[in-house]
Amino acid sequence: MALTVAVLFALWAGIVAPLVFWYGTRSDEIEQRALRIDRMIHLTQGIPALLAQAANARSHQSALRSDLLPASSDAVAAAALQQTLQVEANDVSAPLSSIETLAVEPRGKYRRIALRVTLSATWPQFLHLLQALEQGTPRVLIDDLQLSASPVLSRPAGVPVNATFTILAFRKADVS
């Protein structure tokens, strides 16, 4: 009986246990491969959506290019930006006190054109000017906004608000 148990134990330890271990290992590998295949299938199904996003990004990027100042030099770009500002200010009846052209700064592939503007207008006129600049072409950014006015309690309706701000726009840098 002891010899039979010893032979069965030897068969188990030498043949059956390694086969069971090998089967378990192979089963785990097959399961991992199946999960990897499912993930790859899921990723490949997303390729058309990614291609559509890339095409959308390219068209958006070309739309951004149209928001640049179309000028051959920095001075012409600053003059065009100043003219756009004056037209928008006249449209909303917000008289400009002063416009100063600031130094042009290179920003990668672009050149930043900046104007320092001072005006005195009623609050609604000022807001309409900002809205017109936001919706206009070329796209501009407003920076360093400073407002001053008399206190609200002692101010009758229509008293002007003094505003000073910087308008920023970009043009494509000259490629040499």
What local confidence, expressed as pLDDT, does residue 107 receive?
85
For strands 105-107 and 110-121, give the pairing.
antiparallel
What local confidence, expressed as pLDDT, does residue 176 receive?
45
Q: Which two tokens stand for residue 26?
A: 């192979």
Instruction: Please report, in tens digits, the pLDDT of each residue of the chain (176 residues total).
Output: 998 989 888 888 888 888 889 999 999 999 999 999 999 999 999 999 989 988 887 777 665 546 788 777 888 888 888 998 999 999 988 889 999 999 988 888 888 999 999 998 888 889 999 998 888 878 889 999 998 876 665 556 677 889 999 999 988 877 54
What local confidence, expressed as pLDDT, does residue 33 receive?
94
Per-residue buried b or exposed e for 48-64, using 16+ beta carbons within 10 Å of the residue's own CB:
eeeeeeeeeeeeeeeee
Structure letter (DSSP) for residue 154: T
**Cα separations (Å) of 93 from 23, 123, 133?**
84, 12, 14
What are the residues whose beta carbons fall under 8 Å from the beta carbon of 97, sequence distance 6 or more? 118, 119, 120
The closest alpha carbon to 163, from 143, 139, 147, belongs to 147
